[in-house]
Structure 1
Amino acid sequence: MIPVTDRLAIEEDEISISFIRAGGPGGQNVNKVSSAAQLRFDARHSPSLPERVRARLERIAGTKLTKDGVIVITANRFRTQEANKRDAVERLVEMIAEAAHQPKFRVPTKPSKAAKAKRVEEKVKRGTVKKLRRARTDD
């Protein structure tokens, strides 16, 4: 079990990790060792995710989501397989945690009559101050 939030966790067998060759620093070792981790998580068919979290996760994943609903995360920040594997899992957990957080429902409000009147009064005051600063022209 990989804990995401206090109420949500995903099974380890829902995630598949493969290792691929990575670019970047490492000299000749880069050409020989597959150190980048590629994590795959089938978000659309995961039994661990509630429907509302699944829908938000698909929106959040963006380009990391395939047509089949599989999230693909490639981690190649580090030189070791273990560090890249950990990084990929952490990034998936962060993404699911963000999807699990339900946004607060915003009730649109309008300014009160008093607030509108105060705003107009301030604008008039400011306008009169600016008018008094103008250079007088004698006609």
Structure 2
Amino acid sequence: MFNEDALLQEINFKAIRSSGSGGQHVNKVSSKVELTFNLMESFVFSEEQKERLQKKLQHRLTKEHILILQCDESRSQHKNKELVIKRFLELIRVGLIIPKKRIPTKIPKAVIRKRLKNKRNLSDKKANRKKPDID
């Protein structure tokens, strides 16, 4: 499908300070990890795969076709880096899946007959509720 090791070579990481409360620790430690990946300059994917990924990830990509993911779940920078890599690889795997073409099934003749029979029964039932025509 794709070479994960070569793909990981094309990723750029940046460590930044996490937002939110956390006291003195949060002000001096850059534990939040930001992953950036330029889809159009990647050598790992073919043009067809790039188009598929661009279409699937269009809401996550910037105008320059750069994917940006962030993780600040853990207080450890290394743990956040592992988490963001795992999330990135899963996004790529899901984005490259080619959906199967749906083949519409044919309605069985028995089902059609049953539907028409039920329709006829309901029609007869409603016709029997009317006052009879006396001519």
TM bin, normalised by shorter chain, reads 0.7 to 0.9
Tell whether 2:2 aligns with 1:8: yes
Q: What are the superposed Cα offsets for residues 44-77 of structure 1, whole Å, 9 maximum, x if unpaired?
A: 1211012232222223323321111111111111
Moved over 6 A (4+): none
2:74 to 53, 78, 81: 78
Q: What are the superposed Cα offsets for residues 23-43 of structure 1, whole Å, 9 maximum, x if unpaired?
A: 246332112211111001111
Give the aligned partner of residue 15 of structure 2: 19
Q: TM-score, normalised by structure 1?
A: 0.74
Secondary structure of the equivalent of 2:12?
strand
Secondary structure of the equivalent of 2:58?
helix
C-alpha contact 2:38 2:65 (8 A) present in aligned 1: yes
Is the alpha carbon distance of 1:30 and 1:111 closer, same or farther for their aligned partners in structure 2, counting shifts above 3 Å? Answer: same
Q: What are the superposed Cα offsets for residues 76-132 of structure 1, whole Å, 9 maximum, x if unpaired?
A: 11111101111111111001111222111123455355433323334555x48x87x
Tell whether 2:100 aligns with 1:104: yes
Tell whether 2:43 aligns with 1:50: no
- The one-letter code matched in structure 1 to 2:10 is E
Give the aligned partner of residue 69 of structure 1: 65
Q: How many percent of aligned residue pairs carry the same amino acid?
A: 35
Unaligned runs of 5+ in 1: 1-6, 135-139
Give the aligned partner of residue 91 of structure 1: 87
Measured on the aligned residues, the alpha-carbon RMSD in Å equals 2.8
Give the aligned partner of residue 29 of structure 1: 25
Deviates more, 1:114-123 or 1:67-76: 114-123
Q: TM-score, normalised by structure 2?
A: 0.76
- Select the structure of larger CA radius of gyration: 2
> Aligned pair count?
128
C-alpha contact 1:19 1:34 (8 A) present in aligned 2: yes
Deviates more, 1:33-42 or 1:44-53: 44-53
Unaligned runs of 5+ in 2: 130-135
- The one-letter code matched in structure 2 to 1:120 is L
